[in-house]
Amino acid sequence: MTQNEPTVDSAEAAISALFARHLNQDQLARRWSLSARTLERWRSHGKGPCYLRLGGRVAYRLEDIEAFEKAGRHVTEADGIGVR
């Protein structure tokens, strides 16, 4: 190994950092109380939050999840504001 090649530890740290900012399909399904199959169906129909395909894995960025949640947030008419 040369000096410029990343070590296994640094590669593992980079992967850990990546997945600290992402949820996998099962984690997002639990967060929203959905089945993983629903998320698969949404992806095939072009619905749901943006996602990444990393190798054979699907990952959702936390910022995309939060933006999707915010876009779907509705306020009741009693608040007199409507959709935010």
pLDDT, tens only, 15-56: 677 667 899 999 999 999 999 999 999 999 999 999 999 888
Name residues whose C-beta falls within 8 Å of residue 60's C-beta, 6 or more positions apart in sequence: 22, 23, 24, 25, 28, 49, 50, 51, 52
* Residue 33 maps to a domain: yes
| CATH number reported for the structural domain that contains residue 27 in this entry | 1.10.10
Full-prediction pTM beyond 0.75? no
Residue 61 domain-assigned?
A: yes
Q: Is residue 44 domain-resident? A: yes
Whether 1 maps to a domain, the answer reads: no
Question: What single-letter amino acid sits at 44?
Answer: S
Count of structural domains within the chain: 1
Does residue 55 fall inside a structural domain?
yes
Owning domain of residue 54 = 8-79
Query: Residue 27 falls within a domain, yes or no?
Result: yes
